[in-house]
Amino acid sequence: MTGTMLPEQFDGTVDLGIIGGTGLYKLDCLKPIAVLPPMVTPWGTTSSPVTISRFQPGDGDGEGNGNGNAALFYVAFISRHGSHHEYPPTRVPFRANVAALKHLQCKALLSFSAVGSLREEIQPRDFVLPQQIIDRTKGIRESSYFNDVGLVGHVGFGNPFSRAFAEYVHQFKDVLHNYDDESKVRTLHFDAERTVICMEGPQFSTRAESKMYRMLGGDVINMSVLPEAKLARECELPYQMICMSTDYDAWMDHEEPVTVEQVMGHLSNNARNANALATRIINKMAVELPEFMATGDGLKGSIKMSISTKPEAMSKETLQKLRFLFPDYW
Ligand SMILES: CSC[C@H]1O[C@H](OP(=O)(O)O)[C@H](O)[C@@H]1O
Ligand SMILES: Nc1ncnc2[nH]cnc12
């Protein structure tokens, strides 16, 4: 048992995995029934405990008072930077976080991120559902499960996000509010193929870099969509990031370049909206599992074709690692 007297074990399987980012160290809409201590995986330990929450269809408040005959829906939550923001973006144990959620058998991965905006129309406190990524990390993050001598795999990554998942989230676009000034309308941008730039950090961009990212077609910028999105793909998990804008980065000549203070100023409004959005998403999923989760969004089985190394050439340890993610395949 934990200090909160919740079990530290969970024997069931999870439906949805959620990763929270800066300012979203927990989701208040989740009422944990178990708190697993940071999970040890073949790729290290998760950045935070894994909280498990249970929802019953028709159970708007997550307390389990819904329709007793219907199947229960389980959500696992991990805080990307740790419960106390201990892990800088470069050192987040991305492989452990995604592997743990896959091991719990979640069927999709929803991720939240605080981002800078590279477009005037994406205002601070607006949300974005990007569909493309440009990699500006520096090659110093472990970004694959299949990049070892003895285990080689190449997954398709042309469309790094799940469009079906993004469409599912977008149906709840009207829940966004600007809580301290309701006259301002907050938008969930999904109007165009939006692109998130992923930089290494931890320092923010120079003005010249910020302007270059705009020329490259970037719409928002963060330090964490990679390798998370790649690892989700390697785990055959439909993945969508909800980007929550906090600043205009450094490209606006008449504005001060981004600082942490600016980011912080928008975190609580963004967290309220993240909770509102997550509540609606989970409650609908609990009533009926969306098709992209039930069928795997076209990803199911893809990994068997993506691994180039012959199973007979794999060591016992390699097979063990693979089975942590895919108990049914090898
Ligand atoms: C404190 S601003 C920079 C920080 O915020 C974002 O974190 P996350 O994506 O986990 O919400 C960004 O990626 C940086 O890590
Ligand atoms: N301007 C910015 N650059 C990178 N990551 C961010 N997260 C929030 N704002 C950001």
Q: What value does the mean pLDDT take over residues 284-292?
A: 97
State the angle between helix axes of 260-287 and 163-170 in degrees (0 to 180), rounded to the nearest 10: 90
Strand partners, 132: 195
Q: Which ligand is nearest to the CA of 136?
A: 2
- Kindly state if the Cβ of 249 falls inside 6 Å of ligand 2: yes
For the stretch 207-228, pLDDT in tens is: 999 999 999 999 999 999 999 9
Q: Of the candidates 1, 229, 2, which has an alpha carbon nearest to the alpha carbon of residue 110?
A: 229
- Alpha-carbon dihedral sign for residues 309, 231, 303, 17: positive
Question: What's the pLDDT at 68?
Answer: 56
For the stretch 230-272, pLDDT in tens is: 999 999 999 999 999 999 999 999 999 999 999 999 999 999 9
Higher pLDDT, 206 or 59: 206
**Planar angle of CA 243, 296, 78, nearest 5 degrees:** 45
Q: What value does the mean pLDDT take over residues 110-137?
A: 98
| ipTM attached to this prediction | 0.99
* Percent with pLDDT over 70 in the chain: 95
Question: What's the pLDDT at 69?
Answer: 57
The CA distance from 129 to 166, in Å, is 6
264 phi/psi in degrees, rounded to 5:
-60, -35
Evaluate if residue 325 carries a pLDDT over 60: yes
Question: What's the pLDDT at 64?
Answer: 45
Question: What's the pLDDT at 278?
Answer: 97
For ligand 1, the distance from its centroid to the CA atom of residue 91, given in whole angstroms, is 12
Cβ distance 196 to 219 under 8 Å? yes
* Ligand 1 probe mutation, 115, 223, 270, most atoms within 8 A of CB: 223
Q: Which ligand is nearest to the CA of 210?
A: 2
For the stretch 131-162, pLDDT in tens is: 999 999 999 999 999 999 999 999 999 999 99
36 phi/psi in degrees, rounded to 5:
-80, 130
Q: Which atom of ligand 1 is nearest to the CA of 223?
A: 13
For the stretch 1-50, pLDDT in tens is: 555 689 999 999 999 999 999 999 999 999 999 999 999 999 999 999 99
Evaluate if residue 66 carries a pLDDT over 60: no
The two beta strands, 40-41 and 44-45, are antiparallel
Token output for 237: 């998990």
- Kindly state if the Cβ of 107 falls inside 6 Å of ligand 1: no
For ligand 2, the distance from its centroid to the CA atom of residue 114, given in whole angstroms, is 7
- Kindly state if the Cβ of 223 falls inside 6 Å of ligand 1: yes
For ligand 1, the distance from its centroid to the CA atom of residue 142, given in whole angstroms, is 18
Residue 62: pLDDT band by 50, 70, 90 thresholds?
Answer: very low
Residue 330: pLDDT band by 50, 70, 90 thresholds?
Answer: confident
For ligand 2, the distance from its centroid to the CA atom of residue 207, given in whole angstroms, is 13
112 phi/psi in degrees, rounded to 5:
-115, 145
Q: Residue ranges for the binding site for substrate?
A: 223, 247-249
Q: List the chain domain ranges.
A: 110-319
- Kindly state if the Cβ of 223 falls inside 6 Å of ligand 2: yes
Question: What's the pLDDT at 57?
Answer: 82
> What is the residue-averaged pLDDT of the chain?
95
Owner of token pair 């931890």? 202
- Kindly state if the Cβ of 222 falls inside 6 Å of ligand 2: yes
For 110-319, CATH number out of 3.60.15.10, 3.40.980.10, 3.40.50.1580, 3.40.50.1820 equals 3.40.50.1580
Q: Which atom of ligand 1 is nearest to the CA of 112?
A: 11
Q: Which atom of ligand 1 is nearest to the CA of 88?
A: 15
Radius of gyration of the chain (CA): 19
